[in-house]
């Protein structure tokens, strides 16, 4: 009886620690989870596309062999065309501004005067000494 009580107490202690609250994921972890979810969704679309192509090949083969053997095959059913999902494009992080907004591609300003010289600031701006 005592062993059962001890085992029960240890089990309750372990269960209590299992229900402890986990810390919130970092921004990097959230971004990685978003990329993983997008990749999984894209893989599902690729799998559906490949399945669609495979079913079309099987149906075409069935019609050819039935015709060659002299059997009548049912008329093909109009179905939507297989949709190619294209290449995987990872999602853009929502916290990072686009490059255009960040000014990362902006060219340097055109120089109007040499970086060093004997001219004063007034002369550089077009004003002359009086």
pLDDT computed for residue 60 by the predictor: 93
Compute CA 76 distance to the chain's CA centroid, rounded to the nearest angstrom: 37
**Site of tokens 């179905």:** 79
Q: What is the pLDDT of residues 67-85, one digit of tens each?
A: 999 998 888 888 899 999 9
- Each domain of the chain, given as residue ranges in start order, spans 27-101
Residues of the chain where predicted confidence (pLDDT) is lower than 70: 14-18, 93-108, 113-115, 128-130
Determine the pLDDT at residue 121.
74
**Residue 48: Cβ within 10 Å count:** 13
pLDDT at 101: 59
0.75 exceeded by pTM: no
């Amino acid at each position: 009886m005592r062993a059962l009580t001890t085992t029960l107490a240890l089990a309750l202690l372990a269960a209590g620690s299992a229900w402890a609250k986990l810390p919130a994921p970092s921004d990097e972890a959230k971004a990685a989870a978003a990329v993983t979810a997008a990749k999984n969704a894209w893989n599902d679309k690729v799998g559906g596309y490949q399945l669609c192509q495979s079913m079309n090949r099987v149906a075409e083969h069935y019609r050819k062999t039935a015709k060659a053997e002299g059997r009548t095959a049912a008329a093909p059913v109009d179905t939507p065309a297989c949709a190619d999902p294209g290449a995987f494009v990872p999602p853009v992080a929502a916290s990072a501004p686009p490059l255009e907004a960040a000014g990362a591609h902006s060219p340097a300003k055109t120089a109007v005067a040499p970086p060093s010289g004997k001219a004063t600031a007034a002369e550089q701006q077009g004003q002359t000494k009086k």
